[in-house]
Amino acid sequence: MAATVTPQADRPKKRWFGCLSTVILLGVVLALWVLIRPGVFTVQPIGALPEGVTFIYHSRNPEMPFFSSPDGLCLKIQGSVNLLCRAAGIGAINELSDRILLKLPYSRWAYLRSTGGREFDR
C-alpha cells in the first residue's frame, strides 16, 4: 500500500487562504460596526424606573459617547447632575425608542462607564 504525500507547495496556499479569509471577516465586521454605530444607554434605578434599564441602540450620533446615561450626559453638558437635567436626559429615551436593538436589565458596569466611574444618588 503506497502512502500519499501532500506536496509542500499546498501548505503555504492553505495558510495564505486562512489569513486572507480572516482579514476579510475582520473587514466585514468593521464595516458593519461603522454602518450601525451602536451605543449603550443606561438609566439607573430611579422613581420612574425602579429597576433601571439598559438599551443597546443603533445610529449613535458622533458626539454621543459609546456608553451614555442621563447622568453621564449631565456631567458632559453642565459638569454636574441635578434632577432637572436628569429628567431631560431620560427624555432622550424617546429619541432612541425607534433605534433600540436590545433592551436589557440595568447594568451598573455600563452606568459607571458613562459617568467616568462616579455614582449619583437616585
Banded model confidence at residue 68, pLDDT cuts 50, 70, 90: very high
Residues near 119 by Cβ (< 8 Å), separated by ≥ 6?
Answer: 44, 111, 112
**Cα separation, 21 vs 7, whole angstroms:** 22
Residue 87: is its pLDDT beyond 60?
A: yes
Residue 5: is its pLDDT beyond 60?
A: no
Helix/strand/coil for 7: coil
Radius of gyration of the chain (CA): 23
Backbone angles phi, psi at 12, to 5 degrees: -60, -35
Q: Which residue has the cell 434599564?
A: 53
The pLDDT of residue 12: 62
Share of the chain above pLDDT 70, in %: 88
What are 19-67's pLDDT values in tens digits?
Answer: 888 889 998 888 887 777 889 999 998 877 789 899 999 888 878 888 9
The pLDDT of residue 106: 94
Output the DSSP codes for 11-58: HHHHHHHHHHHHHHHHHHHHHHHHHH--EEEEE-S-SSSTT-EEEEES
pTM above 0.85, yes or no: no
